[in-house]
Each structure stands twice: as C-alpha cells, then as structure tokens.
Amino acid sequence: MNTMNKIPSVDLRDFLSDDKAIKNQFISDIGKAYEEIGFVALKGHFLNDELIDQLYQQIKSFFSLPIGTKQKYEVHGIGGQRGYVSFGKESAKGRKEGDLKEFWHFGQYVDDDDKLAQEYPKNVIVGELPDFNTVGKDTYEMLEKTAKYVLRALALHLDLEETYFDEFIFKGNSILRPIHYPPILNEPNDAVRAAAHGDINLITLLMGAQGRGLQVQNNDGEWLDAIADSDELMINVGDMLSRHTNNKLKSTIHRVINPPRELWGKSRYSIPFFMHPISDMRLDVLDNCIDENHPKLYEDISAGEFLDERLIELGLIKK
C-alpha cells in the first residue's frame, strides 16, 4: 500500500449525481482515502456561507463573554456533554496536561422522543445571545445531513446496503463542538492546543481547518498538515467506525499544534461535528470485514458502552 502524503479532496455532489459512473468514482475515492489515511477534504456539503458566517459570529461573541458569565453555562455531572467546558479541562487519552482550549457543546434535539429525552442532556440556552442556539441548531442539522450521505457512500464501499447506517444515526448522540484556542500568553511547557488523539465516534466533520494547525499522522508515522479550502470540511473516521470495520477504515491519530511564537497572540477557532450513533447500535465487527488475513480484532460492544469507556479515559466522567 502506498502511504498517502496529502489529504485527498472529494465533492459530495458527485455522490448525489444521477450519473452512476460519477457516483461510483466518489465511492471508490472516499473509500480508498479512508482505508489509507482516514481523512478527506469534502466540497459540496450542505452548509452555506451565510450560515457559516453567522455561526462564527455567534461563537466569537460567546467566547468573548466574561469568564464568570461563561461558567454559568458549565453543567456539572454530565461529562461536559452540553454547554460550556472551560479552558484546560479536557486532555487526550494518556496525557496529564490539559489541552489549551475552551469549548461549547450542542447536542441532539429530541423534543418528540421521550426515551431519548431521558438519555440525552438538554441543550443549554445562552441568555446573552438570542441567536446563538438557533444558529447552532441550524448548523447541527446541516452537518448531520452531510454526514448521512458520507456514511451512505461508505456503506456501499463496504458492500453494505446504502442506507445501512441511517437507522443508527437517526437522532444519534452527535455533538457539535465550537472550540476556542485562546492566545498563548506563557510558555506552554508540554501542553498543546489539542494533543495527539483519535476521535471516539463514527465520523467527524470539521469546520475551520483553514490555515496550519491540524496535523494527521500517516502510515509511516509522518505528520502531515491538513489544510482545507474555505469551501471544504475536513472529515475523518472515528474509533467506532474503525472498530466496526475491523480497522479496514482507519481512525487516524491527529493533533492541533501550537502556532509559531509570532502567532501566539491570535485566537484560533474550529468547529467539529462528532457524528455518533444511538447508544443501542452494536459496534461488533462486520462479518464481511473478517477473513483469513484479517482476524476479528475487537470484542463485541455497543456504542453507548464504548462511549462511556472513552469518556472515563478522557477524565470527563468519573467511574
């Protein structure tokens, strides 16, 4: 296998094309990318420029609020799943140093589903910014829609029925996370903006990967800059999907490095959408991803059980 040395770019409009050859080429390209490096840059998604501009305006306004105001929205006892998580609270698996970031979590909207309303924490409403939650919800829904079609392409690549993932991601436990990496004021010792890690979920859709910062580790252990064009989302495979496919699709280690010293005084914003399934989804290894050369690597587990394990490892919930 040749190791990729740059992030491939694909266009979701090709998958939505009525031309079967164009659609199949998209499936082939995205499947190859996720088998070899685990990341693609995606054009043709469902976010428009106006919504993106509104979201950045709202999150910059929120993170500019006084720390005391932001901390009103920090909800204890739910592992940071909704609302505000203050600076340095989260660390990567195996790291003691907290990452140099603060963030917010929007979650799934389940007003019409009593069972899920009991399972998922409620979204937190920011009183100071009347448009904050509306814009967040609109963005959440457009990224969720984009993710559905990416997973449909991957289902076909895996020789599954095209809508295989649909029932598992409908009202799934997904998270939209606007992140603020504040200016670096002091020598950060071993702390970085986001230490090397793999994501927990099925796939992650990242807004705000323009400019150097995000890096991806290829099969040779080299760190590659992952820089998206302004009209692209960076999309990667998470540990749940990698596990479900017996590592056929790669959950790639990635990080956000600190900028050069001359840029320490500038904030950085990025907005990942973590596509999670419903907790009941089985992540047991797919039969068609097991053969003589690829023995089953993982024990059977549900998505909810796996998520709890990882949140404990990250220090976000206590045993």
- When the pLDDT of each residue in the chain is averaged and rounded to a whole number, the result is 88
Query: Looking at the DSSP assignment, which residues form a beta bridge with residue 258?
Result: none
Burial category of 193 from C-beta neighbours within 10 Å (exposed 0-12, middle 13-18, buried 19 and up): buried
CA dist 306 and 84 (Å) reads: 23
CATH 3.40.50.920 fits 9-313, yes or no: no
- Specify the pTM: 0.89
Q: Lowest mean pLDDT of 38-42, 87-91, 102-106, 169-173, name the range.
A: 87-91
Q: What span, in angstroms and rounded, lies between the C-alpha atoms of 179 and 271?
A: 6
Strands 39-43 and 9-11, bridge-based pairing: parallel
Q: How far apart are CA 106 and CA 144, in angstroms?
A: 12
Q: Say if residues 255 and 165 touch (Cβ distance below 8 Å).
A: no
Q: Which residue has better confidence, 157 or 113?
A: 157
Q: Which of 158, 147, 148, 201 is nearest to 27 (CA)?
A: 158
Domain ranges for the chain, please list them: 9-313
**pLDDT at 140 (0 to 100):** 97
- pLDDT at 210 (0 to 100): 62
How far apart are the C-alpha atoms of 228 and 234, rounded to whole Å?
6
pLDDT of residue 214: 84
Q: Beta-carbon neighbour count of residue 270 at 10 Å?
A: 23
- CA gap 234, 216 in Å, rounded: 11
Dihedral of the CA atoms 151, 181, 102, 317 (nearest 10)?
A: 60
Give the residue carrying structure tokens 């289902």.
155
* Res 3 pLDDT > 80: no
pLDDT at 188 over 90: no
Mean pLDDT of the region 211-228: 82
* Cα(142)–Cα(47) distance, integer angstroms: 6
- Give the bridge partners for 74, in sequence order: 83
- Whole-number pLDDT of residue 228: 83
Task: Give residue 319's pLDDT band: very low, low, confident or very high (50, 70, 90).
Answer: low
Could you read off the pLDDT of 240-277 as tens digits, one per residue? 999 999 999 999 888 877 666 777 778 888 899 999 99
Q: Could you give the CA distance from residue 74 to residue 201 in angstroms, rounded to a whole number?
A: 23
Token pair belonging to 164: 């295989």
> Lowest-pLDDT range, 8-22, 117-131, 224-238, 253-267?
253-267
Q: Is the pLDDT of residue 282 over 90?
A: yes
Half-sphere exposure of 43 (CA within 13 A, CB side): 11
Which residue type occupies 298? Y
Band of pLDDT at residue 77, cut at 50, 70 and 90: confident
Is the model's pLDDT at 93 over the cut of 90?
no
Q: In the predicted model, is pLDDT for residue 196 greater than 80?
A: no
